């Protein structure tokens, strides 16, 4: 068996180099020794958007994109969706093991205890326009939380990391619900600590004049399953933002605000909102062939389809599709499901999508459920952010305690102009700039 290494021959010098292979990777720094002269900086590796670059070693989430496998700490996502709750799955993602009954009870108490936010958050939130997008409110308010907890700056103190973990998991639903109520001109509803994590969130969203909100157990469970499915997804765009911002050691609220901002994008967590807008625009399944033509012409993207890692059906999409029918039983059938099913059928049979390995991802069906649950489209990425806070915290904690990690600072290939002398303003515009 050949040694775990690659031999690189630099054809510029004829010299060869032995580069070790570890865990299926070669270290980028091992290429810096490849030079043409002693003052040569050495080779870098160029990988825009990190399509083939491992930025860290992680034991949180395992994905096999070809086989459509997703595991949190080794537990298959379909088993967690069937048997677990979001708080239990969040514990698993963060601490690495399923909690004992005593651990889960203590974890639930710790989070329940921190569901309230400082009253000043209300005044802060009042500054947003009534029609402010709730993701914009979530980004800003999450960052503002860092000003209420100066102790959070001590990221090297394990107890401080615990406290901020509880606070963030507990307060994201509260802020999200406040943002929703703000945009509907409704009074804020305080957390009801007698309810489950998801039940309390529904209460803060929907409670009106009744003494206590009673969540529908089927809808409460469906949303909890959706939260489990969205808890983590290894080094996705927003997890990378959490790690990269977190690597300069700010407090975790600032890093979480950056991760939330990354998730806001329509190519990432904003896709579930974009899918519904797309389905509404298509309107009826008879219009699907024309829409597919626009996609294949490169004029439109089939939102909710495709994935950097999954080159097969996203396992989460299968579970979400199944869960949709449980919600429809209670909340009524969302007619957009018919357009979505026809879009999926047409795409999965079409060479354009087959050769590009484009399948439904987590966002393709989630919006249909959220809409059936009564959420406005703008809230869809907010729901994603609540659940992914567990994964962001797990990734952040792993990065902070990883001795191999330090401040993230990529290199570049410089393509600009080199040294030229300053030009007085009266002489500018006379000579064409190269
Ligand atoms: C999430 O990373 C994660 O894990 C994310 C996530 C998580 O849990 O954190 O899974 C959540 O963000 C899911 C993805 C949600 N986004 C969307 O549904 C938006 C639509 N999808 C695309 O924008 C795209 O598929 C991405 C962004 C998801 C992945 O993009 P890649 O890996 O950079 O792929 P690519 O853009 O290089 O596409 C390869 C080819 C291209 O065609 P060619 O130029 O080779 O001819 O596939 C085409 C693309 O044009 N393509 C699509 C398409 N996605 C890719 N064509 C039409 N519709 C699409 N949706």
Specify whether 213 is located in the same domain as 72.
yes
Specify whether 234 is located in the same domain as 289.
no
For residue 299, report the distance from its CA to the centre of ligand 1, in Å.
Answer: 15
Q: Is 154 helix (H, G, I), strand (E, B) or coil?
A: coil
**What is the bridge-based pairing of β-strands 69-72 and 75-76?**
antiparallel
Q: How far is it, in rounded angstroms, from Cα 150 to Cα 175?
A: 19
Q: Which residues contact 62 (CB under 8 A, 6 or more apart)?
A: 69, 70, 71, 74, 234
- HSE of 212 in the Cβ direction (CA atoms, 13 Å)? 7
Task: Tell me the best of 232, 260, 307 to mutate to test the pocket of ligand 1, counting ligand atoms within 8 Å of each CB and taking the most.
Answer: 307
For residue 429, report the distance from its CA to the centre of ligand 1, in Å.
Answer: 43
Question: What string of DSSP letters covers 296-325?
Answer: HTTSS--TTB--SS-SS--HHHHHHHHHHH
pTM of the predicted model, to two decimals?
Answer: 0.94
Q: How long is the chain?
A: 434
Query: Using a 6 Å cutoff on CB, does residue 316 contact ligand 1?
Result: no
* 191 assigned to some structural domain: yes
Query: Using a 6 Å cutoff on CB, does residue 271 contact ligand 1?
Result: yes
Nearest CA residue ID for atom 4, ligand 1: 236
Specify whether 385 is located in the same domain as 320.
no
Q: How far is it, in rounded angstroms, from Cα 416 to Cα 237?
A: 27
Query: Can you tell me which atom of ligand 1 is nearest the CA of 356?
Result: 47
Question: What string of DSSP letters covers 355-424?
Answer: HTT--B-HHHHHHHHHHHTT--GGGHHHHHHHHHHHHHHHHHHHHHT-TT-----------S--------
* 193 assigned to some structural domain: yes
Phi, psi (degrees; rounded to nearest 5) at 103: -65, -40
Specify whether 199 is located in the same domain as 329.
no
In this structure, what token pair is assigned to residue 302?
């089939």
Q: Supply the CATH number for residue 167's domain.
A: 1.10.580.10
24, 4 contact by CB (below 8 A): no
Q: What is the pLDDT of residue 337?
A: 93
Beta bridge partners of 76: 71
Q: Which residues contact 39 (CB under 8 A, 6 or more apart)?
A: none
Specify whether 366 is located in the same domain as 319.
yes
Overall domain count for the chain:
2
Query: Using a 6 Å cutoff on CB, does residue 243 contact ligand 1?
Result: no
Nearest CA residue ID for atom 13, ligand 1: 268
* 405 assigned to some structural domain: no
Residue 241: count other Cβ atoms within 10 Å of its Cβ: 22
Query: Using a 6 Å cutoff on CB, does residue 362 contact ligand 1?
Result: yes
* 12 assigned to some structural domain: no
Q: Is 64 helix (H, G, I), strand (E, B) or coil?
A: strand
- Residues 203-214, buried b or exposed e (16+ Cβ, 10 A)? bbbbbeeeeebe
- Residues 64-82, buried b or exposed e (16+ Cβ, 10 A)? eeeebebbbbebebbebbe
Q: Is 363 a catalytic site residue? A: yes
For residue 303, report the distance from its CA to the centre of ligand 1, in Å.
Answer: 8
Specify whether 116 is located in the same domain as 247.
yes
Q: How far is it, in rounded angstroms, from Cα 427 to Cα 33?
A: 45
76, 53 contact by CB (below 8 A): no
Query: Using a 6 Å cutoff on CB, does residue 307 contact ligand 1?
Result: yes
How far separated are the first and last CA of the chain, in Å rounded? 55
Q: How far is it, in rounded angstroms, from Cα 40 to Cα 36?
A: 6
Specify whether 220 is located in the same domain as 241.
yes
For residue 305, report the distance from its CA to the centre of ligand 1, in Å.
Answer: 7
384, 263 contact by CB (below 8 A): yes
Query: Using a 6 Å cutoff on CB, does residue 363 contact ligand 1?
Result: yes
- Domain stops at, among 318, 352, 372: 372
Query: Using a 6 Å cutoff on CB, does residue 134 contact ligand 1?
Result: no
Query: Using a 6 Å cutoff on CB, does residue 294 contact ligand 1?
Result: no
* 7 assigned to some structural domain: no
For residue 308, report the distance from its CA to the centre of ligand 1, in Å.
Answer: 6
For residue 306, report the distance from its CA to the centre of ligand 1, in Å.
Answer: 4
Q: Which of 307, 314, 338, 421 is catalytic?
A: 307
* 53 assigned to some structural domain: no
Q: Is 119 helix (H, G, I), strand (E, B) or coil?
A: coil
For residue 302, report the distance from its CA to the centre of ligand 1, in Å.
Answer: 9
Specify whether 352 is located in the same domain as 245.
no
Q: Is 18 helix (H, G, I), strand (E, B) or coil?
A: strand
* 18 assigned to some structural domain: no
70, 255 contact by CB (below 8 A): no
For residue 410, report the distance from its CA to the centre of ligand 1, in Å.
Answer: 23
* 292 assigned to some structural domain: yes
Specify whether 207 is located in the same domain as 117.
yes
Per-position pLDDT tens, the chain of length 434 = 568 999 999 999 999 999 999 999 999 999 999 999 999 999 999 999 999 999 999 999 999 999 999 999 999 999 999 999 999 999 999 999 999 999 999 999 999 999 999 999 999 999 999 899 999 999 999 999 999 999 999 999 999 999 999 999 999 999 999 999 999 999 999 999 999 999 999 999 999 999 999 999 999 999 999 999 999 999 999 999 999 999 999 999 999 999 999 999 999 998 999 999 999 999 999 999 999 999 999 999 999 999 999 999 899 999 999 999 999 999 999 999 999 999 999 999 999 999 999 999 999 999 999 999 999 999 999 999 999 999 999 999 999 999 999 999 999 999 999 999 999 999 999 866 55
Nearest CA residue ID for atom 5, ligand 1: 236
- Residues 135-159, buried b or exposed e (16+ Cβ, 10 A)? bbbbbbbbbbbbeebeebbebeeee
Specify whether 334 is located in the same domain as 217.
no
What is the phi-psi region of residue 249: left when phi exceeds 0, alpha when psi lies from -120 to 50, beta otherwise? left
Q: Which residues contact 310 (CB under 8 A, 6 or more apart)?
A: 63, 65, 68, 359, 361
Specify whether 152 is located in the same domain as 264.
yes
Q: Is 268 a catalytic site residue? A: yes
372, 328 contact by CB (below 8 A): yes
Q: What is the pLDDT of residue 2?
A: 64
Specify whether 352 is located in the same domain as 285.
yes
Range of the domain at 320: 280-372
Task: Tell me the best of 266, 302, 306, 317 to mutate to test the pocket of ligand 1, counting ligand atoms within 8 Å of each CB and taking the most.
Answer: 306
Q: Which of 221, 230, 268, 314 is catalytic?
A: 268
71, 77 contact by CB (below 8 A): yes
Residue 3: count other Cβ atoms within 10 Å of its Cβ: 9
Nearest CA residue ID for atom 12, ligand 1: 268
Q: Supply the CATH number for residue 357's domain.
A: 1.10.230.10
Q: What is the pLDDT of residue 431?
A: 64
Q: Is 307 a catalytic site residue? A: yes
């Amino acid at each position: 068996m050949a040694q775990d290494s690659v031999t690189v021959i630099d054809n510029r010098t004829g010299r060869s180099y032995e580069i070790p292979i570890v865990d299926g990777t070669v270290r980028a720094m091992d290429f810096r020794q490849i030079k043409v002269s002693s003052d040569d900086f050495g080779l870098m590796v160029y990988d825009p958007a990190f399509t083939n670059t491992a930025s860290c070693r992680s034991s949180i989430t395992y994905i096999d994109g070809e086989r459509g496998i997703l595991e949190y700490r080794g537990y298959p996502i379909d088993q967690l969706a069937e048997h677990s709750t979001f708080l239990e799955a969040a514990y698993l993602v963060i601490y690495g093991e399923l909690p004992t009954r005593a651990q889960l009870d203590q974890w639930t108490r710790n989070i329940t205890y921190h569901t309230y936010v400082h009253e000043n958050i209300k005044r802060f939130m009042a500054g947003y326009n009534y029609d402010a997008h709730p993701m914009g409110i979530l980004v800003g308010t999450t960052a503002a939380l860092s000003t209420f907890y100066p102790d959070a700056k001590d990221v090297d103190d394990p107890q401080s990391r615990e406290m901020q973990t509880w606070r963030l998991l507990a307060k994201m639903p509260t802020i999200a619900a406040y943002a929703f109520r703000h945009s509907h001109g409704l009074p804020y509803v305080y957390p009801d600590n007698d309810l489950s994590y998801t039940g309390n969130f529904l209460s803060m969203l929907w409670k009106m004049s009744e003494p206590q909100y009673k969540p529908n157990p089927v809808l409460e469970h469906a949303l909890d399953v959706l939260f489990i499915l969205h808890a983590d997804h290894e080094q996705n765009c927003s997890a990378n933002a959490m790690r990269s911002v977190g690597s300069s050691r700010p407090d975790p609220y600032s890093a979480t605000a950056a991760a939330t901002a990354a998730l806001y994008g329509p190519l990432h967590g904003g896709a579930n909102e974009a899918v519904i807008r797309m389905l509404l625009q298509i309107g009826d399944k008879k219009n699907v062939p024309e829409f597919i033509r626009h996609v294949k012409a490169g004029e439109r993207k089939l939102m909710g389809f495709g994935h950097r890692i999954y080159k097969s059906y996203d396992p989460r999409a299968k579970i979400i599709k199944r869960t949709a029918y449980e919600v429809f039983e209670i909340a009524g059938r969302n007619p957009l499901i018919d357009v979505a099913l026809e879009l999926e059928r047409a795409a999965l049979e079409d060479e354009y999508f087959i050769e590009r390995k484009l399948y439904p991802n987590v966002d393709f069906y989630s919006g249909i459920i959220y809409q059936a649950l009564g959420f406005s489209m703008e809230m869809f990425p907010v729901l994603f952010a609540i659940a992914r806070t567990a994964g962001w915290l797990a990734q952040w904690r792993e990065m902070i305690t990883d001795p191999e990690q330090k401040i993230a600072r990529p290199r570049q290939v410089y393509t600009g102009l080199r040294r030229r002398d300053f030009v007085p303003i009266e002489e500018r515009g006379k000579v064409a700039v190269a």
